[in-house]
Amino acid sequence: MAAEAAQNVEALNAQAQRLIATFTRAGYEQVAPSVIQPAGLFLDVVGEELRARTYVFTDPEGEELCLRPDLTVPTCRLHLARHPGGRVEARYCYNGPAFRYQAGSTDSAHPREFRQAGIESFAAADREQDDAAVLALIAEALRETGLERFQLSLGDLGLFDALLDALPMPRRWRRRLHHHFWRPEAFHAELVRLTSRAALQPQGVPRDLIDRLDPEKPEEALVLVAEHMDRAGLELIGTRTLEEIAARVLAEAADAREPPLEPQTAALIESYVAVRAPARDTARRIEELLGPHGIDLGGALDAYRRRLDLLEGLGVSTWDATFSAEFGRNLEYYTGFVFEISVPRLGPRSPVAGGGRYDSLVSDVGAPSPVPAVGSSIHTERLLAALNGDAPGGVPGGAP
């Protein structure tokens, strides 16, 4: 039922009231961020993938605006407007429309206009506690509307980052692998590249320039790169400065001198990314995988276990939950714990709810420093379909 069909407005309203009542009872303040958002800032944050699905328009004064494709970013902006700096503990809930272009055609599981009901929690000090509290409240809200049984899928980007930190490699390689995590093909290609001495050699920068650069001496590099550009008749045009270009050339020089990543290390990373296990079995499986290589994820794995225990304590059963190391949301702003809730009727590709930790998003929209944040939203049309036993129209597929 696309929102424009409006057949189930009353049912959706009644359902939304129950969801919001559950959220506000738990101390979440109801807010109503603007439907129309500044396109520039919003799209800088969500990236081009979601931009392709965001309705963007220009107002009579030429300002570029968009219809919000989700409510998380607008809620971050609202939080920052109230608390410049953002580092004030706050919890918000909302229910309202979001808009996404659906390539090809829309169907009931993938309408272009849908309502999200959700919660966002900012600046809580105890991350695992807050992760667990957010998921537990979403689960409670779903139960309040009548959804008793659902499948819980979990992921944890903190584990992946801890693994990269524990493996010997230059910081910039960690950064690259971290960056590519959301894109399996690019990630794999980068791993292959890092294990090959030939592939680590500079592709475009002349060898003689690379050989003269000393990664320890960035000042000198600036002069050498400037000289090279003069000789080659290259004029500096555009926004990027000589310093930026020199810094990356210097990183290439450093890569060229670096011993390639050990093939076992790359294999270990691939094995980790392939881990899929019952959530309760995951920590043991990861220890078995990494232990023989003398790698200990330490605090990150403790945090994972603690979060599961906290969830149990809050009444969320984790015994049937599944963990996937590459469990990816296609929004790349998540930074830690991630989860999705699905029901068999709609399938895992049309989750009823999803969420996670996004510790860098608030600074991306303007806070001077990162602010811990975790949130989740319910796709309310899907929830209603799951409760009504409606068969989803069309073939479920793609992201929400």
Partner 1 sequence: MSDKLVLALPSKGRLMEQCAEMLAKAGLVVVRSGSARGYKAEIKGLSGVEVNFVSSAEIAQHIKNGTAHLGITGEDLLRETIADCDERVAFLRGCGFGHADVVVAVPDCWIDVRHMADLEEMAASFRRLHGRRVLVATKYMNLTRRFFSGRGVTGYRIVESFGATEGAPAAGLAELIVDITTTGSTLRANGLRILDDGLILRSEANLVSSKVAQWTPGLRAIERDVVARLAA
Q: Which residues bind partner 1 (CB under 8 A)?
A: 43-44, 47-49, 51-52, 103-104, 175-176, 179-180, 182-183, 185-187, 189-190, 193, 203-205, 225, 228-229, 232, 234-240, 244-245, 247-249, 252, 332
Contact 152, 321 (CB under 8 A): yes
Residues 6+ positions from 183 with CB-CB distance below 8 Å: none
For the record, the structure tokens of 46 come out as 């969500």
Q: Sign of the CA dihedral 307, 308, 309, 313?
A: positive
Q: How far is the CB of 115 from partner 1 (least distance, A)?
A: 26
Beta carbon nearer to partner 1, 314 or 399: 399
Beta carbon nearer to partner 1, 43 or 164: 43
CA distance 381 to 337: 25
Q: How far is the CB of 374 from partner 1 (least distance, A)?
A: 23
Beta carbon nearer to partner 1, 10 or 235: 235
Q: How far is the CB of 6 from partner 1 (least distance, A)?
A: 27
Beta carbon nearer to partner 1, 197 or 231: 231
Beta carbon nearer to partner 1, 248 or 306: 248
Q: How far is the CB of 279 from partner 1 (least distance, A)?
A: 29
CA distance 400 to 397: 9
CA distance 363 to 133: 23
Q: How many of the other CB atoms lie within 10 Å of CB of 34?
A: 12
Q: What number of residues does the chain have?
A: 400
Q: How far is the CB of 395 from partner 1 (least distance, A)?
A: 15
Q: How far is the CB of 140 from partner 1 (least distance, A)?
A: 35
Q: How far is the CB of 398 from partner 1 (least distance, A)?
A: 13
Q: How far is the CB of 243 from partner 1 (least distance, A)?
A: 9
Report how far Cα 49 is from the mean position of its chain's Cα atoms: 13
Report how far Cα 370 is from the mean position of its chain's Cα atoms: 15
Beta carbon nearer to partner 1, 204 or 292: 204
Contact 252, 202 (CB under 8 A): yes
CA distance 179 to 98: 27
Q: Is 295 left (phi over 0), alpha (psi -120 to 50) or beta?
A: beta
Q: How far is the CB of 68 from partner 1 (least distance, A)?
A: 17
Please provide residue 7's backbone torsions phi and psi, each rounded to the nearest 5 degrees: -70, -30
Q: How far is the CB of 85 from partner 1 (least distance, A)?
A: 17
Helix, strand, coil shares, percent, the chain, to 5: 45, 15, 35
Beta carbon nearer to partner 1, 62 or 238: 238
Beta carbon nearer to partner 1, 256 or 289: 256
Half-sphere exposure of 126 (CA within 13 A, CB side): 9
Beta carbon nearer to partner 1, 166 or 229: 229
CA distance 325 to 277: 9
Beta carbon nearer to partner 1, 97 or 260: 260
Question: Which residues face 58 on adjacent strands?
Answer: 64
Among 331, 297, 259, smallest CA distance to 54 is for: 331
